[in-house]
Structure 1
Amino acid sequence: MIRALLALALTAGPAGAALSAGEVTNPEVTVAAGVIHLRGLDNLNGISRDLEVRVGETLSFGQLEIEAEACRVPRDDPKGDAEAFLRIRDVRDTAPRFSGWMFASSPALSALDHPRYDVWVVSCSMS
């Protein structure tokens, strides 16, 4: 997984450059998964909730809209590390608060920056 993250960092280009769901280079062979399992935390009241969203759909969590664009898992170990491309927008904003890949094994590497909510990838499944 570390090699995959290093490859991601090297292919990301200049700092702040946005990546699309199809622009990640990963030396590990992965396959697409259809469902993303997330965990959301409302820091105001301390309540966490398990969330599930299908790729191509949008989910609401508090004041957030979470759009799932892609999810990939290792071909040889589908229950292994998951990586998901998400767009997360606060409904009060026009621009997304987060747009990019999140990694289940390293949630702090690419995290949502929001004063109230935390969202991270737990896993992906085929259906």
Structure 2
Amino acid sequence: MDKFMEHIEKHDDNQTEQQRLKGQHEVILHAMGGRAVYAPIDLPKPGLRILDSGGANRRWVKDLRASLPVQHAYVCTDVVPSLFPTHPPDGMSFQAQDIREPWPANMHGTFDLVHQRFVMAAAAPTPQIQVAASLASLL
């Protein structure tokens, strides 16, 4: 875990980080024309498993979930577990995961959609191609 994330984990009440992440999300959503996903996936199909890697503030998942008329299973991972909610919403689970580390074998091939943004820069010194391949193995 890098120094900034260690600070968030140990010393911050997470309000500053939550506000930063919320603002970042709003800018990206606006830039994408209000759409959370452009991937070729049938999101109205019920029962999908969706991963938000690096998404502990769950802004992306909240907006996606609110835009869909069906139920899906959502998994949010982050390197800073203190960002996780005390009581996860129904249909949503959270787990600590560093993108530089291997994903648990029981997660491989279990997701219909894997989302991540602005996290790859934190992968160093692990090669980004290795991180991307690891994420792709989850699909």
TM-score (norm 1): 0.29
Higher fraction of helix: 2
TM-score (norm 2): 0.28
